[in-house]
Amino acid sequence: MEASQESHLPNYMKDDNVSQETKNLISSLPADKDFMGYSLYNYKGCWYYPNTLQAVLDVQDHFRPHKNDIILASLPKGGTTWLKSLVFAVVHREKYRENPQVIHPLLSQNPHDLVPFLELELYASSQTPDLAKFPSPMIVSTHMHLNALQEATAKSSSSPCKIVYVCRGLKDTFVSGWHYKNKLHRTKMDQGSFELMFDAYCSGVILYGPYWEHMLSYWKGSLEDKENVLFMRYEEIIEEPLLQVKRLAEFLNCPFTEEEEKSGSVKEILNLCSLRNLSNLEINKNGTTRIGIDSNVFFRKGEVGDWKNHLTPQMAKKIDEIVEFKLRGSGLIFQ
Ligand code: PAP
């Protein structure tokens, strides 16, 4: 079935919002199918569904961030939802501390609705979305590779804005993506599909893949511009949450004061943004995000090493070998 015909598919997987110019471009690009048979196209080293590519091109042509904006970039399933909640809570903490009577937005809205995706929401339906409605500093997110994002940010007349990136070990990312796909398509796919998705993942043919190129683009960017690109890992936030949230706040030029630290402000933010807290909220159990995805699909186990419950030793070895080979010499290492 063509992607445009399946009604419950998210818009970004469809092909019904593409200009003639982009159709012409697509016809010249390397093409392949995802593991479910939907068409993907490779544009400048990254795989996209048609609607996603259109939105990425629109971001590149029209999005011009200001110095104070914050862009959260992430590997799909790499910790996006957590990073969105943490950054929103850190950056806006004074506003809600001073007004304890105001319900914190993270208690009534899904993190994806507080921090919208550039290409999956804002530029998915408009070339000129109303960005003024977001509280300052504006926080937006993306799954684009850094080189693709830079086609927009480098054209901004303002000084560079801050970019925070998060990713996660590729075995856990794969398993998380598998569960997400099942929930998204409201089905329980069989072992054959699991293996097909695994093969596609290992060959890099997946939306925003290859994932190792995704990670490398931000890794190199963070080494070249430490002041404006922060590279974070999901596992490190799990291991040393206090330290990582403080690192995040310092990078964003809003470090925690000694007084805040003593009064437990960092811990409060971690509790507010914890998987347990967010996933138990009514809005995240039964709500739907603005881009039409059930909120609960973004929350599952959040464990490091869950791949052990799903991958055979051979599969694990295959991913390890790919990661070792592709990241060799970069200084980026995953255990
Ligand atoms: P996205 O890229 O589609 O937005 P993303 O949030 O990056 O997804 O990844 C979802 C993973 O983060 C899930 O991991 P799992 O499948 O291994 O369980 C989800 O459980 C986890 N996650 C979501 N929110 C949080 C949170 N607040 N704290 C820790 N982990 C979280």
- For 249, the token pair is 């706040």
Instruction: Please answer whether residues 146 and 221 qualify as being in contact, where contact means their C-beta atoms are separated by less than 8 angstroms.
Output: yes
Q: Would you give the end-to-end CA distance of the chain in angstroms?
A: 40
**Residue 230 pairs with which residues in a beta bridge?**
164
pLDDT of residue 53: 98
pLDDT of residue 186: 82
CA of 184 to the centre of ligand 1 (A): 14
| Cβ of residue 201 lying under 6 Å from some atom of ligand 1 | no
Atom of ligand 1 nearest to the CA of 176: 16
* Residue 49 amino acid letter: Y
User: What percent helix, strand, coil does the chain show, rounded to 5?
Assistant: 50, 10, 40
pLDDT of residue 248: 98
State the catalytic residue, choosing from 92, 104, 112, 143.
143
pTM of the full structure: 0.97
Specify whether 143 is catalytic: yes
Cβ neighbours around 85 below 10 Å, total: 24
Our measurement of the distance from residue 301's CA atom to the centroid of its chain's CA atoms, rounded to an integer in Å, reads: 17
| Contacts within 8 Å (CB) and 24+ apart, 91-95 | 91/137, 91/139, 91/252, 91/254, 92/135, 93/254, 93/265, 93/269
| Cβ of residue 306 lying under 6 Å from some atom of ligand 1 | yes
| Cβ of residue 80 lying under 6 Å from some atom of ligand 1 | yes
Instruction: Please answer whether residues 164 and 87 qualify as being in contact, where contact means their C-beta atoms are separated by less than 8 angstroms.
Output: yes
| Cβ of residue 179 lying under 6 Å from some atom of ligand 1 | yes
CA-wise closest residue to 166 among 82, 226, 70, 78: 78
pLDDT of residue 2: 56
pLDDT of residue 98: 77
**Which of 110, 114, 143, 176 to mutate for ligand 1's pocket (most ligand atoms within 8 Å of CB)?**
176
Look at the block and give the residue holding tokens 């890992």. Answer: 233
pLDDT of residue 334: 87
Mean pLDDT for back-to-back runs of 10 residues, the chain (335 residues):
64 96 98 96 98 98 96 98 98 86 93 97 95 90 98 93 98 98 88 96 98 98 98 98 98 98 96 98 97 95 98 98 97 89
